[in-house]
Amino acid sequence: MSEVKDITSRDVDFAKWYTDVVKKAGLVEYSSVKGSMIICPYGYAIWENMQKILDAKFKETGHENVQMPMFIPESLLNVEKEHVEGFAPEVAWVTYGGSEKLEERLCVRPTSEVLFCDYYKKIIKSYRDLPKLYNQWCTIVRWEKTTRPFLRSREILWQEGHTMHATEEEAIKETLRMLHVYEDFQRNGLAIPVLVGKKTEKEKFAGAVASYSLEAMMYDGVALQNGTSHYFGQGFAKAFGIQFLDQDNKLKTPYQTSWGVTTRMIGALIMVHGDDRGLVLPPNIAPVKAILIPIGNDEEVQDAVDTLSRSLDEVGIPYKVDLSNKTPGFKFADAEVKGYPVRIEIGKRDLANEEVTVVRRDTLEKMKMPVGDVVSSLNSLFSNIQQNLYDRALKRRDSMIYEANNWDEFKEIATTKPGFIKANWCGDEACEAKIKDEFSMKSRCLIEDEEIHTDCVVCGKKAKYRLYFGRQY
Amino acid sequence: MSEVKDITSRDVDFAKWYTDVVKKAGLVEYSSVKGSMIICPYGYAIWENMQKILDAKFKETGHENVQMPMFIPESLLNVEKEHVEGFAPEVAWVTYGGSEKLEERLCVRPTSEVLFCDYYKKIIKSYRDLPKLYNQWCTIVRWEKTTRPFLRSREILWQEGHTMHATEEEAIKETLRMLHVYEDFQRNGLAIPVLVGKKTEKEKFAGAVASYSLEAMMYDGVALQNGTSHYFGQGFAKAFGIQFLDQDNKLKTPYQTSWGVTTRMIGALIMVHGDDRGLVLPPNIAPVKAILIPIGNDEEVQDAVDTLSRSLDEVGIPYKVDLSNKTPGFKFADAEVKGYPVRIEIGKRDLANEEVTVVRRDTLEKMKMPVGDVVSSLNSLFSNIQQNLYDRALKRRDSMIYEANNWDEFKEIATTKPGFIKANWCGDEACEAKIKDEFSMKSRCLIEDEEIHTDCVVCGKKAKYRLYFGRQY
C-alpha cells in the first residue's frame, strides 16, 4: 500500500494532494525543461480519448482539421491591437535559426488567430467559400512564471476551432453550438457539471466581441475555466482585410469564431473526482475501464483470468491484467491510485463458489458476482458509475454556491467559505475590480436565466447583471 | 478544366509539376511564415489516415504514446557529442520568454532523443522496467535554407518511436521489426515499393550505431528517404548515465532504438503516383475513395445520388458528392486533380439504362455499370487499383535501377540516366565521397542479398559491399 501512503490527504493540503496524484497515477513526470512536463502513457491515453470523442463530434458538425505554422512573425502578431497586447507579454521568442540571427523574430504560437486570418485572407473570395469550419490539434506555448501540471504549463496541448461565416447570426450560432458541444462532452464524457455563460468585458478573450466559458468547480471550491468559445465579430477580419463578394455582388467582411479546450481538462478530472486514494476516472473517458487482479497463481485463477479477458476482448471493453509479482494489497492500492472505474479480483476462494469480487472505484463498494455474469453486467455498472460521479460532483458544487445580496454578505462568504458567490452587479468595471482586489475573486460568467431583484453588491447602485464570482486556477 | 490547364507537365518540369499539384489538389497553402506551410484539410486528412493506420500498428506491437517537451535546453542537447554536432547547426533557438532574456537558450526540438533519455533516466531502475516502448506524434523544427512542401520544411509533422531494451539482441530485433512495419505500410498503405537496407557510416543518423532506411524512387528517378529505423546501442544511454539493475543483480546499461516517418510520405505519394492531371491516391490511404458527380439537376439523378450515398454510408466507404454549380467537365477535372481513386458519374442518359459511369483514376478507364452493382463492386475495384498502382511503381522503379561495374560505366549512367545505380564498394569513405562530389549521388543503402563479384567501382580495390547510389530529395 506504499503508493497510497504517499498521497497527502486532499483535506490537509489540496495542492500537495494534486501533485501527488498526478505523479503516483503515472500521468506526468517532471522534465529537465523548466515549466514543461512529460505526459506519461497513462496521462496521454486520457488525452487521446478526449481527442477521439471531440474530434468525431467536430467532424460530425462539419469541421475539418488543418495545420498552421508553429511560428508567428512579430509583424503578423501585431496586426490586431487588442490581441497583441493580450499575448505579447507571455510568448517565447525565436531569434536565431542555426547560427544566424533572424531578421524578424518569431514567437512560438500562443494561439493561432492571426495565422488563421492570414490563411483566410488567401482562400476566402466569395460567399461560396463560406462558411469555413476549421479546427487544429496542436501545442501552444505561453511563458508562465509558475507552472502546475495540466493547469498552468508553458506548453499546452489543445485544439482550437476557427471559423468564418457570411453573417453575424450564423457566427453567433456557431459560437453557441460549439459551447454546447463542450458542455455535452464535459457532462457525458467527463462527468463534470459546468456553469456555462458569457464572460464580462474585463474577462473576455483579447480580441473577442464576446467570450463564453465553461466553469467547473474543483473539490476545493476553486474554479477551473474548462473551455471557451468566442465570437469575434469582424475585428480580426477587418484588421486583416478579409473580404468576400456576397450574392448581392457587394464586398463584405465575414464574421469569425474560435473555441478551444486543452489538457487542462485532465486537471479538472483529477480535482473534481479524485479522492485520498488517488484518481477516479469516469468510465466514458477511462483508457482502462476494468483491471483484472489475479490473486495467487493457481491454475483455476489463471483460467478464469483468461476466460474473462477473452470475453472483454469480444465486447470491446478496454481492460488490463495486473500480472506483476506484487502483493494483492499493493495491486488493489495501485488500481485505486490509477482510478480504474472497476476492479475485478479473481481468487481461488471466490472461484470455488463460481464468483469473483467486483469493486467500484467511485464508492469502493465490493460486490460478489457470479463469474459468468461479470462481463454482461459491466456496461450497466459503468453507466451507473458515470451517473454517480456526475451527481456527486453536481451536489457538491451546488452546495458550494452562495448568494450574496450586499457587500457585508459577500465579504462574510468570501472570507469564510470556499466556492462560488452569486451576486448582482451594476456593470461598472470598478465594482468588478474591487471584488478581485479584495478577495482575489474574479467574475466567472454572467447568469442569464435568473431575475435580477437587488442592487449591485459592491456599490449599491441599480444592478444590471447577475454574476458568478470565484477564485480560479 | 482550368485547374488542369494550370498543371505543368511532369516531363517538362518535374519540380514545377510537383508544386502545381500540391497547390491545385488543395494539400498545402503557402503562409506568410517563411519556410513553413499550411496543411489544408485535404492534405491533413491524408496525414490523419497515415496516423490512424500506423498508430494502430504501433499499439498492436506494444508501444505507448507519450508527449515530451517541445524545447531542449542547450546543455541537454550537448550531452551526446555526435548528436549535437549533427543537429545544432539547424535548430531554431528561443532566447526570450516574454520580455525576459532566458538564462539558457532553448532549441525547438529537431528530434527528441535527449528528451527521451532524460525521461528514461528517471524511470528505468530495474530489468522489470524494460522494455520501454514509446512513441510520440509531434512537430519538429529544422532550420532549412531552401524548403519545399512536404519534402523539406522548417516544421515537420512526424512520429518518433524511442525504445529501451535490456539486451542488444532485443534492441536490434525491435529496430528491424519497426523497419518492417514501415515497409509493410508503404507497400500496402501507400502502394510505394521501397528499397530497405542499412545506411553507410557516412550517411547514418548522428548518434546511431546503425541506421536503416526505406528508399523510395520518385517518378523522376530521384530518391526519397521515406522513413528510418535506428539502432543506438548504448551511446546515448551511457552519455546520460541510464542504468538498470538486472536479474543477476548487476547494474547494466540498456540498449536503445528510434524510428520515424513524417509528412514527407505525402510528398512521396504525389511523386510516385501522380500524373499530368494531378494527384493519384491509393484507395487504402485516400480520405475520399469515391466522388459522386451528378450530371444535371433532374429528379432521377438526385434520387440515384441519394440512394448511392446511403449505400456507401452503410458499407462505410468514405465518399463525397460534388454539388457545386460547375460544369461536369470542370467537376471531372477537379476529381482528377484531387486524385480520388474512383469517380462515379450519374447522369439521366445512363440512368435510363439503369447504369452509371465509373472512372478509375489510375488508368482513367471508363466503365458502364448497373447502378445496383456499383457499391458492391467498389471494394474489389479499390483492391485492383491499389495493386495496379504498386505494380506500376515497382515496374518503373526497377526499370530505372542500373548496374555499374567500373568507373566509366558509373559515369556513363550517372550522367545520362535518372535513377539508382547498383555498384560494388570497398568500404572506404573517400570512394563514397568521390561519387557524391562528382555526381551529387549519395549512397542510399547497402544491398545485403546479392553476391559481391567485382571490385570497388571507384578505386578498383577489392569490394566489400554492394550499394545503391542515387540523387535525393
| Mean pLDDT for the stretch of residues B61-76 | 97
Q: Are residues B262 and B190 in the same domain?
A: yes
pLDDT at position A80 is 86
Query: Residue A99's closest chain B neighbor by CA?
Result: B89
Contacts of B131 in chain A (CB under 8 A): none
Q: How many domains does chain B have?
A: 3
Query: Residue B325's closest chain A neighbor by CA?
Result: A128
Q: Does the pLDDT of residue A220 top 70, yes or no?
A: yes
Which residues does B78 contact at the CB level (< 8 Å), separation at least 6?
B84
Angle at A280 between CA A274 and CA A285, to 5 degrees: 125
C-beta of residue B219 within 8 angstroms of C-beta of residue B271: yes
SS3 A234: coil
pLDDT at position B453 is 81
| Confidence band, pLDDT 50/70/90 cuts, at residue B6 | confident
| Confidence band, pLDDT 50/70/90 cuts, at residue A5 | low
Please report whether residue A281 resides in a domain.
no
What percent of chain B stands above pLDDT 70? Answer: 99
Q: Does the pLDDT of residue A421 top 70, yes or no?
A: yes
User: What is the tens place of the pLDDT at every residue in A99-126?
Assistant: 999 999 999 999 999 999 999 999 999 9
Q: Are residues B220 and B359 in the same domain?
A: no
B38 φ/ψ angles, rounded to the nearest 5 degrees: -100, 125
User: Residues 418..437 of A with a Cβ closer than 8 Å to B: which?
Assistant: none
pLDDT at position B88 is 85
Query: Residue A40's closest chain B neighbor by CA?
Result: B66
Contacts of A141 in chain B (CB under 8 A): 70
Contacts of B99 in chain A (CB under 8 A): 89
Q: Are residues B261 and B301 in the same domain?
A: no
Q: Is the complex ipTM higher than 0.85?
A: yes
Question: Which of A24, A32, A78 is most worth mutating to test chain B (most B CB atoms within 10 A of its CB)?
Answer: A32
| Mean pLDDT for the stretch of residues B138-146 | 94
C-beta of residue A470 within 8 angstroms of C-beta of residue A421: yes
Cα(B296)–Cα(B281) distance, rounded to whole angstroms? 27
Cell numbers at B322, concatenated: 460534388
SS3 A138: strand
Q: Does the pLDDT of residue B82 top 90, yes or no?
A: no
Cross-chain Cβ contact A119/B66 below 8 Å? no
Please report whether residue A280 resides in a domain.
no
Cα(A22)–Cα(A267) distance, rounded to whole angstroms? 9
| Confidence band, pLDDT 50/70/90 cuts, at residue B5 | low
Cross-chain Cβ contact B71/A157 below 8 Å? no
Q: Are residues B330 and B409 in the same domain?
A: no
- Of B380, B413, B448, which closes a domain? B380
> For all residues of chain B together, what is the average pLDDT?
96
| Mean pLDDT for the stretch of residues A32-41 | 93
Say which CATH number the domain at B342 has: 3.40.50.800
C-beta of residue B34 within 8 angstroms of C-beta of residue B152: no
Q: Does the pLDDT of residue B4 top 80, yes or no?
A: no
Q: Does the pLDDT of residue A3 top 50, yes or no?
A: no
Contacts of B97 in chain A (CB under 8 A): 91-93, 143
pLDDT at position B418 is 97
Q: Are residues A301 and A445 in the same domain?
A: no
| Confidence band, pLDDT 50/70/90 cuts, at residue B86 | confident
User: Residues 41..100 of A with a Cβ closer than 8 Å to B: which?
Assistant: 41, 44-45, 47-48, 64-73, 76, 88-99
pLDDT at position A394 is 98
Q: Are residues A237 and A372 in the same domain?
A: no
| Confidence band, pLDDT 50/70/90 cuts, at residue A1 | very low
Question: Which of B49, B70, B263 is most worth mutating to test chain A (most A CB atoms within 10 A of its CB)?
Answer: B70
Please report whether residue A283 resides in a domain.
no
Q: Does the pLDDT of residue A2 top 70, yes or no?
A: no
| Mean pLDDT for the stretch of residues A138-153 | 94
- Of B332, B347, B380, which closes a domain? B380
Cell numbers at B188, concatenated: 500496402
Closest CA to A385 of A403, A358, A411: A358
| Mean pLDDT for the stretch of residues A311-330 | 96
User: What is the tens place of the pLDDT at every residue in B243-286?
Assistant: 999 999 999 999 999 999 999 999 999 999 999 999 999 999 99
Please report whether residue B390 resides in a domain.
no
Say which CATH number the domain at A415 has: 3.30.110.30
Query: Residue B37's closest chain A neighbor by CA?
Result: A69
Cα(A463)–Cα(A455) distance, rounded to whole angstroms? 5
Q: Are residues A197 and A95 in the same domain?
A: yes
Please report whether residue A394 resides in a domain.
no
pLDDT: is A368 or B5 the higher one? Answer: A368
Please report whether residue B308 resides in a domain.
yes
Cross-chain Cβ contact A33/B71 below 8 Å? yes
User: What is the tens place of the pLDDT at every residue in A245-302?
Assistant: 999 999 999 999 999 999 999 999 999 999 999 999 999 999 999 999 999 989 999 9
Alpha carbon distances (Å) from A283 to A313, A319, A373, A382, B44: 17, 11, 19, 6, 31
Of B92, B118, B154, the CB nearest to A32: B118
| Confidence band, pLDDT 50/70/90 cuts, at residue B1 | very low
Cross-chain Cβ contact A108/B106 below 8 Å? no
Closest CA to A457 of A418, A401, A420, A409: A409
Contacts of B51 in chain A (CB under 8 A): none
User: What is the tens place of the pLDDT at every residue in B31-43?
Assistant: 988 889 999 999 9
| Mean pLDDT for the stretch of residues A399-413 | 97
pTM (2 d.p.)? 0.96
Cα(A117)–Cα(A239) distance, rounded to whole angstroms? 9
- Of A273, A306, A336, which closes a domain? A273
Chain centre to alpha carbon of residue B192: 9
Cα(B319)–Cα(B24) distance, rounded to whole angstroms? 20
Q: What is the 3-state secondary structure (H, E, C) of chain B?
A: CHHHHCCCCCCCCHHHHHHHHHHHCCCEEECCCCCCEEECHHHHHHHHHHHHHHHHHHHHCCCEECECCCEEEHHHHCCCHHHHHHHHHHCEEEEEECCEEEEEEEEECCCCHHHHHHHHHHHCCEHHHCCEEEEEEEEEECCCCCCECCCECCEEEEEEEEEEECCHHHHHHHHHHHHHHHHHHHHHCCCCCCEEEECCCCCCCCCCCEEEEEEEECCCCCEEEEEEEEEEECHHHHHHCCCEECCCCCEECCEEEEEEEECHHHHHHHHHHCECCECCCCCCCCCCCEEEEEECCCHHHHHHHHHHHHHHHHHCCCEEECCCCCCHHHHHHHHHHHCCCEEEEEEHHHHHCCEEEEEECCCCCEEEEECCCHHHHHHHHHHHHHHHHHHHHHHHHHHCEEEECCHHHHHHHHHHCCCEEEEEECCCHHHHHHHHHHHCCEEEEECCCCCCCCECCCCCCECCEEEEEECEC
Q: Are residues B330 and B181 in the same domain?
A: no
Please report whether residue B36 resides in a domain.
yes
B358 φ/ψ angles, rounded to the nearest 5 degrees: -110, 130
Of B38, B44, B324, the CB nearest to A119: B38
Q: Are residues B85 and B9 in the same domain?
A: yes
Q: Are residues B217 and B307 in the same domain?
A: no
Question: Which of B67, B146, B313 is most worth mutating to test chain A (most A CB atoms within 10 A of its CB)?
Answer: B67
B36–A contact, CB cutoff 8 A: yes
Write out the E strands in A324-458.
Answer: 342-347, 355-360, 366-370, 401-404, 420-425, 442-446
Q: Are residues A348 and A239 in the same domain?
A: no
Say which CATH number the domain at B133 has: 3.30.930.10
Cα(B413)–Cα(B398) distance, rounded to whole angstroms? 15
pLDDT: is B140 or A32 the higher one? Answer: B140
* Residues spanned by the domain of A199: 2-273
A387 φ/ψ angles, rounded to the nearest 5 degrees: -65, -45
Cross-chain Cβ contact A65/B48 below 8 Å? yes
A106–B contact, CB cutoff 8 A: yes
Cell numbers at B235, concatenated: 551511446
Q: Are residues A101 and A34 in the same domain?
A: yes
Segment holding A24, helix H or strand E: helix A14-24
Cβ-based burial of B223 (10 A; exposed 0-12, middle 13-18, buried ≥19): buried
Cross-chain Cβ contact A33/B67 below 8 Å? no
| Confidence band, pLDDT 50/70/90 cuts, at residue A88 | confident
Please report whether residue A447 resides in a domain.
yes
